Each structure stands twice: as structure tokens, then as C-alpha cells.
A and B are shown apart, each in its own frame.
Chain A
Amino acid sequence: MVQGVDAGGQTLLEVQGLRASVEGLEILKGVDLTVKTGEVHAIMGPNGSGKSTLANVLAGKPDYQVTSGQVLFQGADLLSMEPEIRSRSGIFLAFQYPLELPGVRAWQFLKAAVDAQREHAGEEELSARVFDRMLKEKVELVEIDPELVKRAVNEGFSGGEKKRNEILQMAVLQPKLAILDETDSGLDIDALRIVADGVNKLRNSSNAVVLVTHYQRILNYIAPDHVHVLIDGRIVRSGGPELAHELEERGYDWIKEAVDAGV
């Protein structure tokens, strides 16, 4: 395969003709997407268009069956990897509905996650002291309540706290490709700003972000380089930030109509 290098950086992710089903129902009907380092992509679309399915398929959720197409991550076949290998290789999915881990201490969970990642990279485990210091830095970076880290992961957290906790996990794992699945949903404006600030602080020229969202609102805080419109399992339009504004003003119906009309 070709490792493209242009102004956008190195190719991180290449999705080619991806089709996927859940319980026999085809959701993704041929998705193509290329993400390079340093880029922010927004994937927008109405409810039921397949946005979350795309995010989950990339992360390896077993409920979905990929029926055709391929996905290359840093040149490697992503779809053949177990979810944990994808994570250790640098893919991070911020969940739309983060799960509660009853009784599992955040500290212990994140330490285990970091150790797994380091082992995968051939690095030594972090000492508890070094990890503790790193975690404290990340807690400050993403402006999360330090008390949340002392509790069980997401157990009894508010919706906003769960979303913020996802960003903390992202900060700790420092993925190359972060996929944020509707991270903006259910957040008030202050929480949204904090989450967006966290993401912006974690962005750099060697990683990339894919924002999956229904609304344009989060894009006021995290500026996308590319905007894609996903309708009925296909990316029907791609453009720059102006496309998001157009969607905000006109909704999705005009695009559906344009697509149906073959425009």
C-alpha cells in the first residue's frame, strides 16, 4: 500500500469500500475515508445514518459484521485486530454512552490500560509513582474533578462527568487517532467547552481526530479541516468547515434531496 505524504501529513487511516451489518441489517454501505496526521475530520449526519456504527466498527465492536471493504491503520489491516490491539496500536473511541465499571477503581483501570499499551510497544511498566504523577498532570490538563479518579470508573457519574472521563482516558492513552462518538450530546455549554478544550490540548501534528456528531455546535470549539456527511451508510458529501455551517442552517434534508436527485 502507499503511505501518502502531503501537506496534511502522513496517512493514518484509510477506509475503503467499508460495508457492515448488525444482525443481518446492512448499516454501512460502502464508506471511503482517509485521515492524515494533524487533521480533524467531522462526520455528520442525521440519526440512523450509520455514524456510530462507523465509529464502533473502527474500534472493533463485536456486534458488527464487516461484509466487505478494508481499513488500514498506519498501513496495517485494522479489521483483523482484536479491539485491545487496535487500542494499543493507537486508536481511541470516546463512547457515546460510556459504561460503568462497578467497583473498578479508575486508577487501577487506567494503570492496567497504560501498562498494556506499553507492553505492546515493548516498553516497561510504569512504576506506580510515575504513573500517579502522569495521571495527576492529565487530570489538570483536562480539568476533571480529581475526586472522580478516586471513584469507580463512571459508577454513578453524571452524563457530563462520563464524557469528561472519556477525555481523561484519551489524555492518558495519547492515541494517534481519536474517534469521538457524539461526545457533545448531553453536554451543557460549559461542559462542552471543557471537553473541547481537552481535545484541543491533545491535538498535535502527529495525531488526528474524527468527530462523529449530529450537530454543528461542537465544531465551534474544535475546528475541523474536513467535514463529511454520512447518509444511509454512505458519505454523500465532503467539504471544508463551510459545509458544517451549511448543514446547521439548512438541515440534512436538502442534501438527501440533492443526493436522491443525483446532484
Chain B
Amino acid sequence: MTQTSVKLETYRTGFDALLQEAEATDPQWLTDLRREAWSRFYKLGFPTARRGNEKWKYTSVRPLAAANFDNPVVIGFPENINAADLRLVAPWNDAWTNLVFLDGHFAGYLSNLQNGAGQITVTNLADAIASGNPDVQIQLAKHANIDDDGFTALNTAFLRDGAFVNVPAGHIAAAPVHLIFATTGQLEHAASYPRTLLLAGANSRVTVLESYVSLAQTPYFTNAVTEIVLEDGAQVEHYRLLLESADAFHVGTSRVYQSKDSTISSASFAKGAAMARQDVQVTLDAPGASCSLNGLYMTSGEQHIDNLINIDHAKPYTKSRLFYKGILDGKSKAVFGGTVLVRKDAQKTDAQQTDKNLLLSRQAEVDSKPSLLIYADDVQCAHGATAGHIDKDTLFYMQSRGLDRETASRILIHAFASQIIDTVELEPLRDYLDDLFLTAMPTASLEFGGR
């Protein structure tokens, strides 16, 4: 306990410096928010895997807390980084609206905002705050709760920049909005706190892609928070790519709030980071709201990935589809948890949650514990989790058609991953993911188990 407090002192030092520096530019509401968030974080600290803390039961953040990452200072952008570097580590399409953030700060010189058309706001959050945008003040931190979540509190305390996307009622965003959060490595051992606020007005449509990438192979910490608000009838297509470096820590918190007849279809793809936690919560707060959440994670070595996905069916006639898949090699470990909560009034809820894992080695491990909590009586809910090795009889069948075990395994793994990749409607992204996940198949430690 005392040790943890000592660790938090370096965050306090960083926070004090930040407050001093930002005071001149921050509006009062933001200063207040920061202070409140900081005091919450200081009280909560980093979560521990203590008994009763189900949310962190299988994931230890001790290495992250012990790493004691420095808090970022603005030192300007490294001059040697250009668009070509980003294209090597992130999907890129000139037809998209691309916002690039380096170490948490907006890099206008690498971004192209010209595709953001008409009344649709696509900008960096710092500018939106500075310009006094009322929507930002109203919505920011209203959906990502700092009260019981240390990482969200920490992100909010250190909030500097990120993306603000506001699609007014009835508007359709012509170009997908791509937010690239890249770590450059120029700040050694640093944390960054990207923040995204997406407001989709009534009957609007927008596609947003968040990419978390690295230009350096150093340890760092990304603590990202995204808030997405869908008004009545809004349709959001959302993608999240976690492609951090192999030594990185990543905690991503996404909070989605949905009004009547709104729809979000989201797909998450995770491949990087030494330790990654993706915490998603969707609140279906009016009839007709529906969400489809797909995910694919692939780990190797000693990677650890934790997906916590909670869906709150708060009102009747809401629908959720959750389908995640994992491919685990080496000694890597995956945790999948979360609850589909069906409240008492949420009759006619239709919910499915599925997590399937393919283990490529004997040492890989999965703790998959999706759960249902149902207080209504007229609902359709199903959930399931599986984990298995490549079936040896299936392999023999393929061998008997002339394919060697490695080729057969690749084809099976490819097919396993394709089921999620094929849900991506954005074609250039689908192609990118196809290459990313399918040409980089693990082969070194393929092991074959029985049924």
C-alpha cells in the first residue's frame, strides 16, 4: 500500500506541473474536472487483483504501476517523422479524414482535415476546448465515469488532446474519420492520454477508426479514453486497432451511450502491446438501440490481453451482439470478461455474447468468463465461450488432400480470423487487416493437440 502511494507521488508531481502549465489556457470547468479526476485517481490508485475485484481478477497491473511512467511535457514534434513513417505502422487512405496525434498531441502537419465536409466537426480536442465549444463542455467526461475507474480518472486528470468529432443531426459524414495515435519514442518511458469524443446527432451517420500505433520499440504507456454518444437513429461504424509496440502498456476505455433506434457496429483488432486492457461499456438507453461488437485479438510470446465488455440493456427492445475471437501463441494469455446486464424494464432484450479462442501452443492460456445478469423475464439471451487447439483429425483430413501441416494450420487460422475481419465494411481497412493478421501467422511454435 505504501509502495503504491510512493509510486503515485511521481504522478502527483507530473499533475502539479501540468496544472501549472495548463492553467493559463484551460477553461475553469476543465481545471475543475482535472482536479476532481486527480483526487479520484489518487484515492483509487491503480486497480489491484485483490479478492472481490472481479474486473481485475485475471490481470495484474503491478508491472504497469511499477514502471512509473513519466508524464508528458510538450516539447514539440520530432522533425524526422513524416507521413511515410505512419503508413508503415497504420492503415492510411488519402480519401479518409486523417487526424494524427504524436505522443498524445495533435500533429496538424501530418493530418488532412480537408475531407471533413460542411457542418461536420472533425478537429483536435485541444482546439475544440480552446474555442469554447459548448458540446465539448456538456459531453466530455459525462459518459466515461471517473468515480470508480482509476484509469479513466487518470486519463481525465492528464487530458491534453485527442479528437472531437461532431456530426449534426441528419448529416452523413462522407469520409471515414481516422484517428491515429502514435507513440514516437522521443519521450522515453512516457505515458500518453489520448481522449476522443464522438457525438453522432439524430439520424446522422459516421465511420470512425481509432488506431493506436508505435514508431518506436520502447516501453511506454497509452491510457486512452473514448466517449461515443448516439442520438436517436444515429448510425456509427467504429473500428479500433491496437497495434502498440511489443513493450507497451495499453489501457483503452470506451464508453458508448445510445438513444432510441441508434446503431453502432464496432470491430476491435488487437495485436500489439505487452499488456493490453480494453474496457468497453455500451449503454442501450432507449428502445430500438442496438450494438454489434466484434473483436479479434492475436497474441504471442508473453503478451497479455484483457477484454472487458459490459453491455447495459437499460430499456426494452434493445439488441446486442458480441462476437470476439482470439488466437494465442507462445506463453501469451487472454482474458475475456464482462456482463450483459438486462434490467428489469428491458423486456424483449435480444443479446448474444460469444468468445472463441484458438490456442496454438500448450502454454497459451485463456480465462474467458462472459456472463449474463438478467432481471427481465421476456428476453432472448445466449452466451458462450470456447477455447481449443487445432483439431488433429481436421489436420489429417487436410493432409490427406496434400497440404502439409503448416499450410493446413495457416488455412485454418486464416479462416478463424476471417470470420471477424470479414465483418469490416470499410474495404481498404479490411484489406489492411487481411494482410496484418493473415500474412503474419505464427508458425514457430505450432503445436497440435487432440480434441
Binding site for B on A (CB under 8 A): 59-62, 82-84, 86-88, 92-93, 95, 98-99, 101-105, 108-110, 112-114, 116-117, 120, 152, 169, 173
Contacts and interface: CB of A to CB of B under 8 A. Distances in A.
A113 B400 CA distance: 9
B400 A109 contact: no
A161 to B, nearest CB: 16
Nearest to A115: B402
A92 B402 CA distance: 9
Q: Is the interface of B mostly helix, strand, loop or mixed?
A: helix
B375 interface: no
B418 interface: yes
Contact of A113 (B394, B401, B405): B401
Report, as a range, how many residues of chain B touch the other chain: 20 to 34
A82 B399 contact: yes
A207 to B, nearest CB: 16
B145 interface: no
B416 interface: yes
Interface stretch (B161-169, B377-385, B407-415): B407-415
A138 B42 CA distance: 70
Contacts of B432: none
A93 B398 CA distance: 11
A56 B46 CA distance: 57
Nearest to B416: A103
Contacts of A116: 402-404, 407
A120 B392 CA distance: 23
Contacts of A93: 400
Contacts of B396: 60-62, 83
Contacts of B393: 99
Nearest to A118: B402
A121 to B, nearest CB: 11
Interface centre among A82, A103, A108, A109 (most CB of B within 10 A): A103
Interface of B: 391-394, 396-405, 407, 411-412, 414-416, 418-419
Nearest to A99: B397
A83 B411 contact: no
Nearest to B392: A62
B295 to A, nearest CB: 16
B404 A82 contact: yes
A120 B418 contact: no
A105 B422 CA distance: 13
Given A62-B392, A84-B401, A95-B397, 11 more contacts: A59-B400, A82-B404, A83-B396, A87-B402, A88-B402, A101-B398, A103-B419, A104-B411, A105-B415, A108-B411, A110-B401
B411 A173 contact: no
Contacts of B411: 101, 104, 108-109, 112
Contacts of A84: 399-405
A92 to B, nearest CB: 8
A105 B419 CA distance: 12
A101 B401 contact: no
Nearest to A112: B403
Contacts of A110: 401
Contacts of B405: 84
A117 B418 CA distance: 26
A225 B347 CA distance: 68
Nearest to B404: A84
B412 A87 contact: no
Max count, chain B CB within 10 A of own CB: residue among A83, A92, A98, A102: A83
A210 to B, nearest CB: 14
A176 to B, nearest CB: 13
A136 to B, nearest CB: 19
A230 B205 CA distance: 69
A103 B415 contact: yes
Contacts of B401: 84, 87, 109-110, 113, 169, 173
Given A62-B396, A83-B396, A116-B407, A102 B402 contact: no
Contacts of B394: 99, 101
9 contacts: A103-B418, A104-B415, A109-B398, A109-B401, A112-B407, A113-B402, A116-B402, A116-B407, A152-B415
A19 B414 CA distance: 38
A173 B402 CA distance: 9
Contacts of B412: 101, 104
A196 B391 CA distance: 31
Contacts of B415: 101-105, 152
B416 A87 contact: no
B411 to A, nearest CB: 6
